[in-house]
Amino acid sequence: MASSGSTVRPIESRSVAELVTSELRRSILTGALAPGREFSLREVAGMLNVSFIPVREALRSLEAEGLVVNRPGRSSMVAPLNLDDLHAIYRLRHDLEPNIAARACALLGDDELDRLDDQARGFGDEHLGIDEIYEAHHAFHLALLRPAATEWDVRILGTLWRAAERYIRIGFGALDPDPREHGRREHAHHDLLEVFRSRDADAVRQGVHDHLAHNEQLALRALEPATEAR
């Protein structure tokens, strides 16, 4: 008689719908599919050489992430840039991240902070664009919060970070040609780590709040011309 555990089988590969979702998400976040771009189910299925079914599932998932607008009986559209959405995303991040960080600062060891300090140096590399550093940047901030974050915290933060990613990539990507931006990015993260090293919960809470506020303003400054042109 087979054991009860034998009914749960390991996943050998990702489903087609997951692969389609991942590729469409990547295309939207990097700007390959521009904000406001309209497309039909048939067009996407043709581009990716898949059937309509996984595309339909993918578009539903991406709509839930705020990246796509699906209009019944009509074509779908990459969600336009919306400054109100950006403000809302950051308002929620301000509600969550500083408090998690305040708890995490007492749990992070010096070795981990040293590792993150080395990683932050890469944010100042002028040869790397936002696409190349974004995953490392995401991992950096998750590592700062992870010791005090519950699984629900991580899920919610992941949703907010994905929603913010498009704005960050577009907004900060516009600043990349300025070499000073790379240095600013590196120093901002070194400064944040120094606050964590203080183990002062109130200082860490304020430091994360200031970091988020500064990034939001930089993103807004870069995004305003794009939204005004629509």
Q: What is the pLDDT of residues 60-113, one digit of tens each?
A: 999 988 889 998 777 899 998 888 888 999 999 999 999 999 999 999 999 999
CA atoms within 13 A on the CB side of 182: 16
Give which of 77, 59, 88 is closest to 230, Cα–Cα. 77
Q: Say what the pLDDT of residue 2 is.
A: 46
Kindly tell me if the per-residue pLDDT of 185 is higher than 90. no
What pTM was estimated for this model as a whole? 0.75
State how far the Cα of 152 lies from the Cα of 158, in Å rounded to an integer: 10
Report the CATH superfamily, name and number, of domain 83-228.
GntR ligand-binding domain-like (1.20.120.530)
State how far the Cα of 215 lies from the Cα of 159, in Å rounded to an integer: 18
Q: Say what the pLDDT of residue 5 is.
A: 47
Average pLDDT, the chain: 84
Work out the percent of the chain whose per-residue pLDDT is above 90.
Answer: 46
Q: What is the SS3 assignment for 15?
A: coil
Q: Say what the pLDDT of residue 71 is.
A: 85
CATH no. for 16-78: 1.10.10.10
Q: What are the residue ranges spanned by the domains of the chain?
A: 16-78, 83-228
State how far the Cα of 173 lies from the Cα of 37, in Å rounded to an integer: 19
As given in the structure block, the two tokens for residue 171 are 């907004």
Domains 16-78 and 83-228 fall in the same CATH topology: no
From start to end of the chain, where are the E strands?
A: 38-39, 68-69, 76-78
Residue pair 36/69 in contact by the 8 Å Cβ criterion: no
**Residue 17 Cα to chain centre, angstroms:** 21
Residue-by-residue DSSP string for 144-195: HHGGG--HHHHHHHHHHHHHHHHHHHHHHHTTTTSHHHHHHHHHHHHHHHHH
Kindly tell me if the per-residue pLDDT of 167 is higher than 70. yes
